[in-house]
Chain A
Amino acid sequence: GENVEQHPSTLSVQEGDSAVIKCTYSDSASNYFPWYKQELGKRPQLIIDIRSNVGEKKDQRIAVTLNKTAKHFSLHITETQPEDSAVYFCAASIPGNTDKLIFGTGTRLQVFP
């Protein structure tokens, strides 16, 4: 069935360094790829998304890249700050009669001062 794999499960970086989280998806017809940030005890919130007709999208310190041929997409956070510490989830749309999102298992990012 449809599947989204996310790596790594945990990531520790020094403040100011970059962080990269990678996801692969199984359905080549997927066309929407959002990233959600979930702080401890809070709800997931969208931080950036990309559609299949675009290869890269940036929003200040975060960017997402998409490789449709390889069926993978990545989240890049530059100049990390302690407030970036959270769990990040990738997701991919599963086209069908009603589009649904399939989520990865999450990456716990810790940014040390």
Chain B
Amino acid sequence: NAGVTQTPKFRILKIGQSMTLQCAQDMNHNYMYWYRQDPGMGLKLIYYSVGAGITDKGEVPNGYNVSRSTTEDFPLRLELAAPSQTSVYFCASSNLQGGNSPLHFGNGTRLTVT
């Protein structure tokens, strides 16, 4: 099993550009999450999904969108990139509800918006 796979690993965007961060998991987990990690800070939940076709907002959803058309994939979309979105983005999945089971993280995507 590859676990949780994120692409790309690094990306530089200009202000106003858009991009999609890809996330895929091969563990048949129902629950998937997107977090962002700013320097010296903890992980903030952006969006999460409890299964295909179901998504919901986390703590910091503004400026982002997600979709969950399959169990395996959970892409994160940035429509109009802003410098405040410079961060490291982690996708994660879990077998049970995320509050009661371990999260399996991907290796992260380091995004810089200039």
Interchain CB contact under 8 A, A46 and B43: no
Q: Which residues of B contact A58 (CB under 8 A)?
A: none
Q: Which B-chain residue is minimally distant from A104 (CB atoms)?
A: B42
Question: For residues 76 through 113 of chain A, which have their beta carbon under 8 Å from a beta carbon of chain B?
Answer: 89, 93-95, 98-106
* Contacts across chains A and B counted by CB atoms under 8 Å: 65
Interchain CB contact under 8 A, A93 and B105: no
Q: Which A-chain residue is minimally distant from B56 (CB atoms)?
A: A98
Q: Which of B100, B105, B106, B108 contacts A99 (CB 8 A)?
A: B100
Q: Which residues of A contact B106 (CB under 8 A)?
A: 43
Interchain CA distance A42-B50 in the complex, whole Å: 26
Question: For residues 43 through 69 of chain B, which have their beta carbon under 8 Å from a beta carbon of chain A?
Answer: 43-45, 48, 50, 56, 58-59
Q: Which B-chain residue is minimally distant from A2 (CB atoms)?
A: B59
Q: Which of A32, A45, A102, A105 contacts B105 (CB 8 A)?
A: A45
Q: Which A-chain residue is minimally distant from B91 (CB atoms)?
A: A43
Closest Cβ–Cβ distance, residue A98 to chain B (whole Å): 5
Q: Which residues of A contact B99 (CB under 8 A)?
A: 31-32, 93-95, 98-101
Interchain CB contact under 8 A, A100 and B98: yes
Q: Which residues of A contact B108 (CB under 8 A)?
A: 43
Closest Cβ–Cβ distance, residue B101 to chain A (whole Å): 8
B20 at the A interface (CB under 8 A): no
Closest Cβ–Cβ distance, residue B15 to chain A (whole Å): 26
Q: Which residues of B contact A36 (CB under 8 A)?
A: 103
Q: Which residues of B contact A9 (CB under 8 A)?
A: 40
Question: For residues 93 through 110 of chain B, which have their beta carbon under 8 Å from a beta carbon of chain A?
Answer: 97-103, 105-108
Interchain CB contact under 8 A, B102 and A46: yes
